Amino acid sequence: MRRGVLYRCGVMLMSLLLSAVTAAKAEPVQKPDPVESLDPVVVSATKTPLPLRQVTSAIEVITGEVLERQKIKTVADALRLSQGLAVFSSGGPGAEVTVRMRGGTPNQTLVLIDGAIVNSTTLGYYSFANLTTENIDRIEILRGPQSMLWGADAMGGVINIITKRGAGPLQASAFSEYGSFQTIREGGQMSGQKGPVDLSVSLSRWDSTGFSAANYRRGAAERDGFRNWQASTKMGLTLPREGRLEFAFRWLNSDVNLDNISNPPRDVFGSKSRDQQFVYSGTYDQRFTSWWSQKVTLAQNQDSNFFYPGTLQRNLLTNAFTVPVGSPNETRVLTNRMEVQEKFQIAKPLLVSTGYQFRRQEGENDTGLSNKHITSNAGFVEAQLNAWDRVFATAGVRQDSYNPFGDATTYRGTAGYSFAETGTKVRGSYATGFRAPTINDLFFPNFGNPNLMPEKSRGMDAGVDQRLLSDRVRLSGGYFWNRFQNLIVNANADPNCAPFSTFLSCPRNIGSAVSKGWEASAAVVLVRDRPFMKNLEFQGQYTNTLTRDVNTSLRLSRWPVDQWSALLTYQPIEPLVTTLAVRYVGSRFNDVPNQQPMRAFDVWAFTVAYDVTKYLQAYTRVDNLFDEKYEELLNAGTPVRSVYVGVRVKYDAQ
């Protein structure tokens, strides 16, 4: 019954959208309502600042203003509403959260924080479990193979997270929030600029004690606690001749209680993961002449995770009690990255960039993996064309050399044309990518395979971006296709593993897969500056992803065919803003053999924020508004309807 109501709500929402667009068209074209929509500047697509209108890649930008307006507390929650991504959690707050892009695996998405690569050197992917949105300026999501610019692990795409930069007079703010699952969040931020120096710093804490990592509807009774501290800072110094020196730091420290969500699930008592992460980066950007500039980046990600297996576990199917297998152990990983990029403006329309990158990955744990490392050296060259602010194109090639397996060559080309008179941009790209084996793949005792070669991919996309009615309507749509080869797959009971594994199990390059689909998005200003209708906006996106394992013809695990999300923002008067958000995830299989089907679900959220004064704001957020009973991963816990209330205060030191 309720799903029928939801579909009717969707029809009503689309009718409202069409009516607003029709009404907007009926207004006098000589005096359109002004819309303040600054074109974001992105760096991920070309490693040079570029207005979004000129980007010829499939990219999405989530700004810090959007995160604050919607009261989104984690980066994972923001990514859940984005195009082309599958974002799933293995439990409540602090449980592992993985992100997949366009049919790929989590290992094939490169994640950076202020230029530092944060993918785990042992597991290959980055878990977004503990990353909150405090002090984040923007998140750039670059879809498709990007190894030509970013190297290994970017064969599916790149997620680039950038910390805020201090600007203007000194400002300070603080917030406090309380809600369901005995959740308490609090934090503060300060930012500003004085002369050539700018600074932005934040500190926050998040505690929760009332959530079960295993789905309580399957009988899990123990509530698993979560504690998270997070601090970040960015300090910059403006130098002569458009130069800039910048330092960024982010610290994450968390404790989370865990359950076992394998099949059958187990409620584990005393199991805990303690994680501490340090992210450092420094950049020096300097223009030497009118045609030559240089950027140097030094970055490090250091992560240590201590795991306690627990003292007792209960099988949720049989209620039998057993002792968890394993002993307390710690895993320590380190990634160092150094890059030098030279940019040459060859006449007005052509910019040529060359670069060199050194990367060193280290990993060890207490279960037998001694300190191992992987080093790589890479060089790349890219040309960017901007002719008459209409014709845009990029072309580049990269050579990576890795100590375990040798060389990998990747290339990429994009093109686009802007019809300024109609606000239309057509774009397309073709690229290759690769993913290097992880330290676990190569060296883990009795498992690693030192003969592994990198995974490879090639992909293309084509799309159209349309802006109408003085940017009141922004539409985008496109098609993508990817082919993955040499995929690293764990081969069980395989005699070919005998030279490497005493358990006849090891990773091998035997996988091959294909993904293709459609992406579409819309952002529409429905009403602006009317009585009791200060602002009414709609945003939505739809992703269709068809995946296939070439060897078995099965669908790839954990990939829904259909996903969509929508947001309706209503501001009746200046101090009051409400947001209604919905996320839909289609049916999928939890496992590789397609034996564990999972049903589709839709989850709604509602947020209200009211500016009591210029310096005080009160807000309420309701997650899972209709109390949907769902799982993102089989047996993993998800929240029931939950309510949070908070206040935010601000101080201007002028």
Tell how strand 85-89 and strand 59-63 pair up: unpaired
Residue 515 vs residues 111, 112, 431: alpha-carbon distances, Å: 21, 24, 15
Q: Tell me the C-alpha distance between 162 and 134, whole Å.
A: 11
Q: Tell me the C-alpha distance between 336 and 303, whole Å.
A: 12
Confidence band of 22 (pLDDT split at 50, 70, 90):
very low
Predicted confidence (pLDDT) per residue in 288-297, tens digit? 999 999 999 9
Which position has the token pair 């602090």?
Answer: 94
In the predicted model, what is the mean pLDDT of residues 115-140?
96
Q: E strands along 422-551, which residues?
A: 424-435, 455-468, 473-491, 506-530, 533-549
Reported as half-sphere exposure (CB side, CA atoms, 13 A), residue 557 has a value of: 12
Residue 43 vs residues 47, 60, 248, 490: alpha-carbon distances, Å: 5, 12, 17, 36
DSSP secondary structure string, 339-389?
EEEEEEEETTTEEEEEEEEEEEEEEEETTS---EEEEEEEEEEEEEEEETT
Least confident of 33-37, 114-118, 636-640: 33-37
Taking 90 as the threshold, does the pLDDT of residue 419 lie above it? yes
Q: Tell me the C-alpha distance between 253 and 264, whole Å.
A: 31
Q: Looking at this protein, which amino acid is placed at residue 602?
A: D
Predicted confidence (pLDDT) per residue in 306-320, tens digit? 999 999 999 999 999
Confidence band of 493 (pLDDT split at 50, 70, 90):
low
Residue 625 vs residues 72, 92, 236: alpha-carbon distances, Å: 15, 17, 42
Q: Tell me the C-alpha distance between 581 and 9, whole Å.
A: 12
- Structure confidence at residue 1 (pLDDT): 36
- Structure confidence at residue 35 (pLDDT): 43
Nearest to 643 by CA among 212, 180, 182, 211: 180
Say which DSSP state 7 is in. H
Residue 75, helix vs strand vs coil: helix
- Structure confidence at residue 500 (pLDDT): 66
Rg (CA), the chain: 25
Reported as half-sphere exposure (CB side, CA atoms, 13 A), residue 149 has a value of: 28
Q: Are the C-beta atoms of residues 602 and 80 closer than 8 Å to each other? A: no
Predicted confidence (pLDDT) per residue in 83-105, tens digit? 999 999 999 999 999 999 999 99
Confidence band of 261 (pLDDT split at 50, 70, 90):
very high
Share of the chain above pLDDT 70, in %: 93
Q: Looking at this protein, which amino acid is placed at residue 646?
A: G
The answer, as to whether pTM is greater than 0.85, is yes
- Structure confidence at residue 447 (pLDDT): 87
Least confident of 166-175, 335-344, 501-510: 501-510
Q: Tell me the C-alpha distance between 80 and 638, whole Å.
A: 14
- Structure confidence at residue 499 (pLDDT): 67
Taking 60 as the threshold, does the pLDDT of residue 457 lie above it? yes
CA angle 3, 9, 15 (to 5 degrees): 145
Confidence band of 38 (pLDDT split at 50, 70, 90):
low
> Which secondary-structure segment (H or E) carries 536?
strand 533-549
Q: What is the largest CA-CA distance in the chain?
A: 77
Which position has the token pair 């439990």?
Answer: 91
Q: Tell me the C-alpha distance between 559 and 87, whole Å.
A: 10
User: CA torsion angle for 483, 488, 494, 497 (degrees, to 10)?
Assistant: 140
Which strand ranges, in their side-by-side order, compose the sheet holding 312-315?
266-269, 312-315, 321-322
